[in-house]
Amino acid sequence: MQDRLPRVVALEAESIRADIKRPEAPHDWIDYPATNSEQVLGRLQGAAVVIVNKVQLGAALLAQLPELRMISVSATGTDNIDLAACRERGIVVCNVRDYAADTVPEHALMLMMALRRNLLGYVADVRAGLWAKSPVFCLFDRPVGDLNGATLAIVGRGTLGDGLARRAEALGMRVIYAERHTATAVRAGYVAFRDAIAQADVVSLHCPLNAETRGLMNAEVFAQMKPGAVLVNTARGGLVDEAALADALRSGRIAGAATDVLTQEPPREPNPLLAPDVPNLIVTPHMAWASAGAMQRLADSAIANVDAFLRGAPVNRVA
């Protein structure tokens, strides 16, 4: 009797709108459009490989999946996976890097421009009829700032941070990289975290979410930013103390913020940043990464990781 083919289970097939090809190596494929936390264990029984995006795979769950050998994360961030438990159990974890090298920096740049030029505020003013009532030909009752000459502090130096830096420098911005906030020494090419925050007209987050970075942007940090500064977050919602950010915007402690991510996604429960009275805030629904080209690259890379693993070839592993 032949050995059973390795079972590959995709738990969130509809989280990527792309042509998802099957691995070339022999396998048994099962996919689900979406999976909630109560369904994970049952659906992964007998699975050798799982493809996930945001489904949580913690230590207690992994301990009940003795046949699981590989996790392919169809994202760069792996904060939904217990990497220590995977290492302990010998489970290979792979992620996908650089697929959003253009789309996320472009989205961050768009948000920076919109905030600095008070775009949404002016759109709302025109729709409210304020321009029609203006005594002069234009309406300029909100501050407008240029990107040219402004200082951008990038938190997280990787493909996405560097991609934003190149675009910002092309517009005449002064770009600095913030050192890790827990660092005891400042590396060449970096600025101490607090100094970078204090100098910045724009702070843009591109670092991973982990125990060190959770709640990185909090009330104490907002108090050290310039009153005219803005925050952009296209990384992870947990990097920001959302209640503190809402308070900083309401009080005018900082001039504005834009985020593509929240701590809970989708936001089923009330979120401080979705309160109707929070001013100068732009929230987009975690779609900075989701250009058609980026999603296809993501799908191709996630499947390539699975195919390489099944063939016994080297893989770009996280754990």
286: annotated active-site residue? yes
Q: DSSP alpha helices (H): ranges in 148-289?
A: 159-170, 193-199, 219-224, 242-251
Count of C-beta atoms within a 10 Å radius of residue 170: 9
Q: CA torsion, points 76, 82, 88, 90, in degrees to nearest 10?
A: -40
* Domain regions of the chain by residue span: 7-99+293-311, 103-283
Give the SS3 label for residue 259.
strand
Distance between first and last Cα of the chain? 34
Phi and psi of 72, rounded to 5°?
Answer: -105, 110
Q: What pTM does this model have? A: 0.88
The CATH architecture annotation of domain 7-99+293-311 reads 3-Layer(aba) Sandwich (3.40)
Choosing among 3.40.50.720, 3.90.550.10, 3.40.190.170, 3.40.50.1370, the CATH entry for 103-283 is: 3.40.50.720
Per-residue pLDDT of the chain (319 residues; tens, 9 = 90+): 346 899 999 999 999 999 999 999 999 999 999 999 999 999 999 999 999 999 999 999 999 999 999 999 999 889 999 999 999 999 999 999 999 999 999 999 999 999 999 999 999 999 999 999 999 999 999 999 999 999 999 999 999 999 999 999 999 999 999 999 999 999 999 999 999 999 999 999 999 999 999 999 999 999 999 999 999 999 999 999 999 999 999 999 999 999 999 999 999 999 999 999 999 999 999 999 999 999 999 999 999 999 999 999 988 888 7
| pLDDT tens for each residue of 216-251 | 999 999 999 999 999 999 999 999 999 999 999 999
- Rounded Cα distance between 222 and 212, Å, is 18
In this prediction, residue 1 carries a pLDDT of 34
For residue 190, the number of C-alpha atoms closer than 13 Å in the C-beta half-sphere is 17
> Kind and range of the H or E element at 231?
strand 230-233
* Catalytic one of 167, 206, 236, 297: 236
* Catalytic one of 27, 117, 181, 286: 286
311: annotated active-site residue? no
127: annotated active-site residue? no
* Catalytic one of 4, 212, 265, 311: 265
- Whether 103-283 and 7-99+293-311 are alike in CATH topology: the answer is yes
